[in-house]
Structure 1
């Protein structure tokens, strides 16, 4: 197989253990980023309220308007100038995108960032190649040298930016870089339809299935620690100690789940050339009490995204079928549609042809056959 010269963006996430000085700087960067984000939203909303009060048209939220607010903040709050200009610009870009999505695409209203949020991050652009990685260590002047845990020499191209992330009391650095597209995987000539679910994680149209990950012990520890946390005084020494334990259990669950999803998504992409999946409306499904708890635990969107990007990366074909296609209700043998099929019915008999159908397998076969 010939080597590909197409450049793609890749990212790798590494756990880091900052010293006291570095951790103080990390928290400063997150704090300044949050301050810029929240104050720009606050200023925009204040101006909109004043304009509405006097029946005047509010300024259009575009880049020049957001930049004018940002420059005002730099004058009146000089401490935010501790960040370099490119990092400060990266802090207000998400606000601009959020308002564009709100006005043009009907997304939710831009939200303020919380100081004690479980996940916080700030983007730092690599201007003039000031960020570099050598021998498993990342260097950027304000932070100095930082060890990247689990580094395996995968960063081969130019670093575009890094994301400093604090997640459940742990620090991570995500490095985005460009690299050559890997060689396409060997063709197998096989196609598959995949039905994602809560009871069975992924049902394949060739009768194979990927089981839902059972994390009973870890979930029990999380539940127990959450109850213990409720009994502690907020902000106290004991509260912080129990919170750290809770974050430890949550991170363990997330790591196990992520490794499992990477494993099965790679297996699927290696085995099949064409992969068809439903365009799931997860936001709507989460509102349904029959689905909500299970969906939060299995993270179907995460698995779907992994399969999708691996298909693009390794030269396989990914096809998404329409969101409201009734794959479970249609008999794959004769085409009869059972509109009375309940959520709890795992098997049903087609009244037209008499075929006994497994709900998930039938759905995956219909997904495979869609468009043929």
Structure 2
């Protein structure tokens, strides 16, 4: 199992200068290889007899010409340009297999990073040895034991981090999840997550809290003369604030996902079309500030570490409009309605808690079906293109399945 541990570095001024130079070399090599790849691709369309571009051929060519054309590359570790071209090859592989978009050129200040293979650095307690630089202090030692695979040094604002990838054994030091049954997690904007047991996690909402300060610093930066020292200072202040917002968001997500994965072995969550929902100009900033995709990513790997599982329920499942007790499906439920009363059984539901209970029931039913029992899967295939908003189906088939789930599980925790 590959696990990455991100650690804050504490370099002095000379070491920070070297790290910035190495990141610049990696960025230049990546952009050079991308331009060369595109040139060879266009030439091959005119002459199919020419070989197809590859990262191995580009690495060999760069090694052959860098001493004459780019002698400043020799001032930093050889891994910086070589690993950048390897990453470009992986990016094109993901693009050809339709897992990612076409690679783009890296920009200074946004993609300041470089990677090292495991034979080019050493870890000793709270220090890391980098080629042609020496030992650099780290804020904490490496937590995981195993074979070190690689390290990536990156800069956010004016601070450097190292992400060390370790190949560990399958059995981690984390204990299995507490046997508190299953749980459903309903994601929202007013509250980050609502659990089926009634817990509500509002989240830090760092972007909304610091939005006015962010606007003020952005206006201050726009007034500075390009190339001046004041503009450099204003740009650094804005970058630090962006980094702080990201840190606050990640910290809140880690606290939530760690708490859920530690207590529950089966977790039901909606398979939301986050990219499509960001197209709603009224809710895009609030959705982006919550970090739903990152929450699901963290929840998935943390549940795996503790022996649990995450069930992604179909995004078309009407979790909010379905009564978790009797299974009645409403024809319409406005976003502003936070509570509603079931016309069949008379139960009064909180919108988010009811949705979380339905997600819990779907997760349990999918687990029963996977073990050989009767039940429906977590996801149904649809031929229609997903809409850029949270949709809820009203088909009779879903209603019948929902009623059967409610009768079996009774809308309570398993």
- Report what 2:184 is aligned to: 193
Cα distance, 1:103–1:342 mapped onto 2, change above 3 Å: farther
Equivalent runs, 1:1-372 vs 2, <5 Å: 8-52=1-45, 54=46, 56=48, 60=52, 65-78=54-67, 79=71, 80=73, 82=75, 84=77, 86-105=79-98, 107-117=100-110, 119-127=111-119, 130-149=120-139, 151-152=140-141, 154-180=143-169, 181-185=172-176, 187-215=178-206, 217-338=209-330, 340-370=332-362, 372=365
- Give 3-state SS (helix, strand or coil) of 2:165's partner: strand
Question: What's the offset of the Cα at 1:163?
Answer: 0.8
Q: Cα distance, 1:201 vs. partner?
A: 0.5
Q: Deviation of residue 58 (structure 1)? A: 8.0
Normalized against structure 1, the TM-score is what?
Answer: 0.86
TM-score relative to the length of structure 2:
0.78
Q: Could you report, residue by residue, the CA deviation over 1:148-182 in whole angstroms, capped at 9, with x for unpaired residues?
A: 12x15624333221111011222111222234411
Q: How far apart are 1:82 and its partner, in Å?
A: 5.0
| Partner SS, residue 327 of structure 1 | coil
Deviation at 1:85, TM superposition (A): 5.0
Structure 1 residues 56 and 178: CA distance shift in structure 2, 3 A: closer
Distance in 1 (CA, whole Å) between partners of 2:308 and 2:189 is: 26
Distance in 1 between residues matched to 2:99 and 2:118, nearest whole Å: 33
Aligned partner of residue 153 in structure 2, secondary structure: strand
CA contact (8 A) 2:118 2:150 kept: yes
Q: CA deviation at 1:279?
A: 2.1
Q: Cα gap change, 1:235/1:197 in structure 2, threshold over 3 Å: closer, same or farther?
A: farther
Residue ranges of structure 2 left out of the alignment (5+ in a row): 366-414
Does the 8 Å contact 1:201/1:210 carry over to 2?
yes
Partner of 1:3: none
- Measured in 2, the distance between the counterparts of 1:58 and 1:345 equals 63
Aligned-pair distance for 1:352? 4.9
Q: Say if 1:74 and 1:81, in contact at 8 Å, map to a contact too.
A: no
Q: Out of 345-354 and 183-192, give the one that drifted further.
A: 345-354
Q: CA RMSD, aligned part only?
A: 2.6
Q: Give how far 1:224 is off.
A: 1.4
Give, in angstroms, the shift of residue 200 of structure 1: 0.9
| Residues 46-72 of structure 1 deviation map (CA, whole Å, 9 limit, x = unaligned) | 2333444x48588545xxx22212322
The structure-2 alpha-carbon separation of the partners of 1:101 and 1:183, relative to structure 1 and needing over 3 Å to count, comes to closer
Which runs of no fewer than 5 residues in structure 1 stay unpaired? Answer: 1-7
Contact residue 278 and residue 367 of structure 1 kept, 8 A: yes
* Matches of 1:264 and 1:330, distance apart in 2: 26
Aligned mates of 2:57, 2:114 — CA distance in 1:
21
Contact 1:218 / 1:253 at 8 angstroms: preserved in 2? yes
Q: Note closer, same or farther for the CA distance 1:35–1:9 as it changes in structure 2 (3 Å cut).
A: same
Kept in 2, the 8 Å contact 1:182–1:313? The answer is no
After TM superposition, give the deviation of residue 240 of structure 1 in Å: 0.9
SS of the equivalent of 2:278 reads: helix
